[in-house]
């Protein structure tokens, strides 16, 4: 065996041992969960599982801290190979002279090795091993990387580990935003971390900091003025609480992916403003025992979440339900889905914006909805149904559109919590019978807005024309049905907005949209307790308008002329004008082939010469008849409509000799009870049954109606056709008949 081969065999194990002596991963990280905005602003942090504030390593060490730590700990750091032989010589000389250890010679690289081996003994052998490993670390990483390893894992007092955590814990801002004085204070801490203890060692800490500042000045890193100004800066009084500006968002991320660094698109300034708005309104709402609130702001263009306020946590001691994140929480939708139905019916061609929708008492399998005001208008234009959020016309619209089709549309719009079949929801789907989340509500309105503003918007089953008409109607929400306090909102911008209030005043909603932003608000109690007077308009809308006031003003949506066409409609019915409609409007409607039928409410009628009677050839000479075009509603619609429209002219009564047999229409309509309804009677204070008031309408104001219950005559009415009955429990047949033989009947049940 040659001499060189023997030397190789002897040296090779040592070389291999040196190459592989350094572990691949030096530090076992147990990082905090932190949430940062896109610009690096810290929005929230949670202490790590081992009870330490340890942030995930930054990309690089800030320049000020790098200069401070190198000047204080290792002045030849940038040139030595991991071991500073000059420092070793100095330390040996000083320690030998003093007869004890008064000086060390550890470089920053060696300190990184020591930090990575916290359980290793403090001995000469360990020191030698640290030196060997330090040289190996120098071969693996650049000086900048080694400095970053040190800054990320050095102790900074108490349970604070790493420069970034220390900067936020002691100064409330990121490390790259620290002053020279603050950077110097942190640079001296790893050498003596106990000095940061509040109330103790402050003089010693100040002395060390100022000593380092003087060294920086001597080396020309800072000038004398900077040095003196830095010395005048006070030390921090005590550790600061970590920012917690988006508590529920961070907790939601942690629940999904654990503790790590998260980045989000939240605008820090807007998040703070939204939190302040929530706090201001909470102080008022809390007096009515309304304790919880969720606010979500989304960009229409990018889809980014710009503000995420999950609940009122921290606003009052022991506040109930404040830890619940209300943004993904499923709650009754109230009236918030009505605009989607309106848009869908426009898109399908079932209605036009001004189409009259029947607003009279309604019953379907004992489902009897009421408008918020407990009144009826008889007939209401479809766009006004949305503006006023009327319940009964909305239910009639859903019945016509089809609950299964509407359910499919909602699911395509992203409402994942509406996951049962149409039979489960029935027609209550439009009035809050389904549960939605604030997140999916805002997302749906954002999809509609993006369809109007973005070329690459996700495809949805609603056309641009129908969406624009819907937003136009919502922007004119001048008569919210809940109350009139909307008039106090002083927003100087055009917003399409919709409120919602669930049954029992358990949930108050409001969602608003402009071409740039969508703002959604939920107010209520997370445990489901309702509160009197809590409505979408009264509680959620003021919050939404305040949030929009904190956002930049937006222009309004451009009218999509390529998806709209002008047509002539009847001024009164809103339907395509027939040849006899006297007043016509030109309106924009979606450019689709299907249209509602022509106006059916304008009819040609024949009157006597004095226009006092309806006549026909059986009772009046044809040559003397006066022909007129009149707007005529069916009896029930007319009965309610005339109360709110003083300009409506009902037809005059029929001539006494009028032959009704030639007219196939039924002049009678029973308003209450409706077909198939179950009536529950109550007892008064005297113990007697209160009874049931039956009601009907007749096209002839002077007509007399004769009432029968179960084939038994029970009375007559004229003018206002109201009659008190006290039927026995069970099924009944009610019949109303006029003198000309016209009749109407309904079956109902009494409990």
Total domain count, the chain: 4
397 and 488, same domain (yes or no):
yes
pLDDT bin (cut points 50, 70, 90) of residue 738 is: confident
501 and 398, same domain (yes or no):
yes
The token pair at 640 is: 């309610």
426 and 354, same domain (yes or no):
yes
Q: What does the pLDDT read at residue 91?
A: 53
114 inside domain:
yes
Given 37, 87, 183, 335, which residue is catalytic? 335
pLDDT bin (cut points 50, 70, 90) of residue 482 is: very low
pLDDT digits (tens, 9 = 90+) for 370-383: 888 888 999 999 99
87 and 192, same domain (yes or no):
yes
385 and 520, same domain (yes or no):
yes
Q: What does the pLDDT read at residue 227?
A: 95
pLDDT digits (tens, 9 = 90+) for 183-202: 999 999 988 877 776 557 78
Give the end of a domain, one of 615, 641, 662: 662
E-strand stretches of 598-711: 602-607, 626-631, 668-672, 678-679, 692-698, 704-709
Separation CA 537–CA 531 (nearest Å): 14
For the four alpha carbons of 11, 13, 19 and 21, in that order, the dihedral sign comes to negative
310 inside domain:
no
pLDDT above 90 (res 691): no
418 and 496, same domain (yes or no):
yes
394 and 534, same domain (yes or no):
yes
CATH number for the domain that contains residue 534: 3.40.710.10
Give the end of a domain, one of 214, 232, 250: 232
Percent of the chain whose pLDDT exceeds 70: 90
Q: What does the pLDDT read at residue 76?
A: 87
Beta strands 496-501 and 507-513, pairing class: antiparallel
646 and 674, same domain (yes or no):
no
pLDDT above 70 (res 152): yes
Q: Who wins on pLDDT, 659 or 41? A: 41
Q: Is 335 tagged catalytic?
A: yes
pLDDT bin (cut points 50, 70, 90) of residue 644 is: confident
Mean pLDDT of 414-438: 95
35 inside domain:
yes
Q: What does the pLDDT read at residue 68?
A: 95
564 inside domain:
no
Mean pLDDT of 250-276: 95
The per-residue pLDDT of the chain, averaged, comes to 88
- Tell me which of 105-114, 144-153, 473-482, 501-510 is least confident: 473-482
DSSP 576: B
**What is the number of residues in the chain?**
751
pLDDT bin (cut points 50, 70, 90) of residue 359 is: very high
Separation CA 84–CA 76 (nearest Å): 7
Mean pLDDT of 270-291: 96
Given 37, 48, 73, 164, which residue is catalytic? 73
81 and 172, same domain (yes or no):
yes
741 and 684, same domain (yes or no):
yes
585 inside domain:
no
Q: Which domain holds residue 679?
A: 668-750
572 inside domain:
no
CATH number for the domain that contains residue 92: 1.10.3810.10
Tokens 């047999």 belong to: 661
Cβ density class 183-195: b for 16+ within 10 Å, e for less: bbbbbbbbeebeb
575 inside domain:
no
- Tell me which of 249-253, 403-407, 414-418, 607-611 is least confident: 607-611
255 inside domain:
no
162 and 93, same domain (yes or no):
yes
Give the end of a domain, one of 209, 232, 255: 232
| 161 close to 57: Cβ distance less than 8 angstroms | no
CATH number for the domain that contains residue 701: 2.60.40.10
Q: What does the pLDDT read at residue 95?
A: 53
pLDDT above 90 (res 84): no
195 and 74, same domain (yes or no):
yes
The token pair at 726 is: 């006290």
């Amino acid at each position: 065996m040659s001499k060189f081969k023997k030397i190789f065999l002897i040296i090779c194990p040592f070389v291999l041992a040196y190459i592989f002596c350094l572990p691949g991963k030096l530090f076992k990280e147990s990082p905090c969960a932190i949430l940062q905005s896109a610009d690096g602003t810290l929005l929230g942090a949670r202490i790590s599982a081992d009870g330490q504030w340890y942030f995930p390593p930054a990309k690089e060490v800030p320049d000020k801290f790098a200069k401070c730590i190198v000047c204080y700990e290792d002045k030849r750091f940038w040139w030595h190979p991991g071991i500073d032989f000059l420092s070793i010589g100095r330390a040996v000389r000083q320690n030998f002279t003093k007869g004890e250890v008064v000086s060390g010679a550890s470089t920053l690289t060696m300190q990184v090795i020591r930090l990575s081996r916290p359980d290793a003994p403090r001995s000469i052998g360990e020191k030698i091993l640290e030196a060997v490993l330090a040289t190996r670390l120098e071969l693996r990483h650049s000086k900048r990387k080694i400095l970053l390893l040190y800054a990320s894992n050095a102790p900074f007092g108490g349970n604070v580990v790493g420069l970034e955590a220390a900067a936020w814990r002691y100064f409330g801002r990121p490390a790259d935003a620290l002053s020279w004085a603050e950077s110097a204070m942190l640079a001296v801490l790893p050498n003596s971390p106990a000095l940061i203890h509040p109330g103790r060692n402050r003089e010693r800490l100040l002395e060390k900091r100022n000593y380092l500042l003087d060294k920086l000045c001597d080396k020309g890193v800072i000038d004398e003025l900077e040095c003196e100004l830095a010395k005048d800066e006070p030390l921090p009084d005590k550790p600061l609480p970590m920012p917690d500006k988006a508590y529920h968002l961070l907790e939601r991320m942690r629940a999904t992916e654990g503790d790590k660094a998260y980045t989000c698109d939240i605008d820090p300034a807007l998040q703070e403003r939204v939190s302040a708005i929530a706090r201001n309104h909470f102080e008022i709402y809390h007096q009515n025992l309304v304790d919880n609130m969720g606010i979500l702001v989304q960009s229409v263009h990018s889809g980014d979440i710009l503000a995420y306020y999950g609940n009122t946590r921290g606003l009052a001691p022991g506040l109930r339900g404040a830890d619940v994140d209300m943004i993904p929480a499923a709650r009754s939708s109230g009236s918030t889905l009505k605009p989607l139905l309106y848009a869908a019916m426009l898109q399908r061609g079932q209605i036009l914006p001004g189409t009259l929708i029947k607003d009279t008492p309604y019953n379907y399998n004992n489902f009897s909805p009421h408008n918020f005001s407990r009144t009826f208008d008889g007939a209401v234009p479809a766009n006004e149904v949305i503006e006023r959020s009327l319940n009964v016309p909305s239910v009639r619209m859903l019945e016509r559109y089809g609950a299964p089709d509407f359910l499919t549309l909602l699911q395509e719009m992203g409402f994942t919590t509406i996951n049962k079949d149409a039979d489960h929801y029935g027609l209550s789907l439009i009035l809050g019978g389904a549960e939605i989340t604030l997140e999916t509500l805002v997302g749906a309105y954002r999809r509609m807005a993006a369809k109007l503003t973005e070329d690459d918007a996700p495809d949805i089953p609603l056309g641009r024309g129908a969406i624009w008409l819907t937003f136009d109607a919502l922007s004119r929400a001048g008569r919210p049905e809940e109350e009139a306090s909307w008039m106090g909102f002083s927003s100087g911008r055009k917003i399409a907005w919709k409120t919602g209030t669930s049954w029992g005043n358990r949930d108050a909603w409001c969602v608003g949209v402009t071409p740039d932003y969508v703002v959604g608000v939920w107010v209520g109690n997370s445990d489901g307790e309702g509160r009197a007077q809590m409505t979408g308009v009264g509680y959620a809308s003021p919050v939404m308008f305040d949030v929009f006031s904190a956002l930049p003003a937006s222009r309004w949506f451009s009218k999509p002329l390529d998806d709209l066409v002008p047509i002539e409609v009847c001024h009164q019915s809103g339907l395509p004008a027939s040849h006899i409609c006297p007043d016509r409007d030109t309106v924009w409607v979606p450019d689709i082939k299907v249209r509602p039928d022509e106006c059916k409410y304008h009819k040609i009628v024949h009157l006597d010469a004095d226009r006092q009677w309806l006549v026909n050839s059986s009772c009046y000479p044809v040559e003397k008849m006066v022909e007129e075009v009149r707007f005529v509603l069916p009896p029930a619609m007319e009965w309610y409509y005339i109360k709110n429209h003083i300009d409506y002219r009902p037809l005059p009564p029929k001539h006494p000799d009028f032959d009704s047999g030639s007219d196939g229409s039924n002049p009678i309509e029973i308003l209450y009870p409706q077909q198939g309804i179950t009536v529950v009677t109550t007892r008064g204070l005297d113990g007697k049954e209160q009874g049931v008031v039956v009601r009907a309408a007749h096209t002839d104001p002077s007509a007399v109606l004769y009432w029968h219950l179960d084939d038994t005559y029970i009375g007559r009415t004229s003018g206002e056709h109201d009659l008190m009955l006290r039927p026995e429990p069970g099924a009944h047949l009610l019949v109303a008949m006029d003198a000309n033989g016209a009749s109407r009947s309904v079956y109902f049940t009494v409990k």
